Chains A and B, each alone.
Chain A
Amino acid sequence: EAGVAQSPRYKIIEKRQSVAFWCNPISGHATLYWYQQILGQGPKLLIQFQNNGVVDDSQLPKDRFSAERLKGVDSTLKIQPAKLEDSAVYLCASSSSGLAGHGELFFGEGSRLTVL
C-alpha cells in the first residue's frame, strides 16, 4: 500500500515570496491533516479536512496560509507571502478513522521549507 506522498521535499525561498506544497493521502482516507513542525518542536496542526470540507483551521494563519482539497483527495498548502518564521517542515497526514473515531495518523516524509 502506498503511503502519504508529499512534494517537494525541499524548498528554499526568500521572504515575501510564495510557495505551495502538495499532498496525496493514502487511498480511501477521508481525513487529511497539515501540520507544521518547527525544528526542535512537535508537529502543530494547521488544518484538518474531512473529504473536501474544512473541519478545523483554527491554528492556520489565514492572512498568509491557505489550503484546499477540492476533490476530496489530494491537497495543496500555500504560503503567500512567506516570513522567516515559516521555516519549518510541513507534514501531511491522513487517517481512515473519521471525525468520531480514534486511530493512527499516517504521515508523509514532509516538505522542508527554508525562508531566507
Chain B
Amino acid sequence: GESVGLHLPTLSVQEGDNSIINCAYSNSASDYFIWYKQESGKGPQFIIDIRSNMDKRQGQRVTVLLNKTVKHLSLQIAATQPGDSAVYFCAENPNQGGKLIFGQGTELSVKP
C-alpha cells in the first residue's frame, strides 16, 4: 500500500552543525510534499513544502530537496540550534483530495 518512510529514526547533531533528515515515499502519483516538526506534547507544525514540479526549495535555514527518480525527500537544516530538537515528519499528498500521508518520523536531538 501507500507509505512514506524515513531512513533513520534518530539523529543526534552538535549545535551549529547542519542536519539532514531523509525520507522515502512510495506513491509516484504524489505531487505535493510537506515537512512538519512536532515538539513533545504539541501538534505537528509546518516547516516547508514542495511541489513535484520542483526539485529544491529554500526557506529560512531549511532546504527541501526532492528526487522523483528515486522517490526521495530530504530536509536540510543549517546551523542547527537546540530549539530544532523535535520529531520531523515528511508527508505526501497522493493527489487524492488534499489528504496527507505521513511517514514514521525522525527524532532530531541537538547537543549544546
Give the complex CA separation of A110 and B40 in angstroms: 11
Q: Is B45 engaged at the interface, CB distance under 8 Å to the other chain?
A: yes
Q: Quick one: which of B42, B96, B98 contacts A95, CB cutoff 8 A?
A: B98
Residues of A within 8 A of B103 (CB): 42
Contact residues, B5-48 vs A (CB, 8 A): 31-32, 34, 36, 41-46
Known: A102-B31, A102-B51. A45 touches B43 (CB 8 A): no
The closest CB in chain A to the CB of B103 belongs to A42
Q: Are A48 and B51 in contact (CB under 8 A)?
A: no
Contact with A along B77-112 (1 / 0, CB 8 A): 000000000000101010011111111110000000
Q: Are B98 and A98 in contact (CB under 8 A)?
A: yes
Q: Quick one: which of B41, B101, B104 contacts A41, CB cutoff 8 A?
A: B104
Q: Are B41 and A104 in contact (CB under 8 A)?
A: no
Contact residues, A21-58 vs B (CB, 8 A): 31, 33, 35, 40-45, 48, 50, 55-56
Give the complex CA separation of A110 and B45 in angstroms: 12
Q: Is A73 engaged at the interface, CB distance under 8 Å to the other chain?
A: no
- Chain A: residues with Cβ within 8 Å of the partner, total of 31
B25 CB to closest chain A CB, in angstroms?
Answer: 12
Per DSSP, chain A at the interface is: loop
Give the complex CA separation of A43 and B43 in angstroms: 10
Q: Are A42 and B99 in contact (CB under 8 A)?
A: no
Q: Is A109 engaged at the interface, CB distance under 8 Å to the other chain?
A: yes
Known: A41-B104, A42-B89, A42-B103. A97 touches B98 (CB 8 A): yes
A32 CB to closest chain B CB, in angstroms?
Answer: 11
Q: Are B46 and A104 in contact (CB under 8 A)?
A: yes
Q: Are A48 and B99 in contact (CB under 8 A)?
A: yes
Beyond A35-B102, A42-B102, A43-B102, 6 extra complex contacts between A and B, CB < 8 Å: A41-B105, A50-B97, A91-B43, A102-B49, A108-B43, A109-B42
Which A residues fall within an 8 A CB radius of B?
A: 4, 31, 33, 35, 40-45, 48, 50, 55-56, 91, 93, 95, 97-110
Which B residues fall within an 8 A CB radius of A?
A: 4, 31-32, 34, 36, 41-46, 49, 51, 89, 91, 93, 96-105
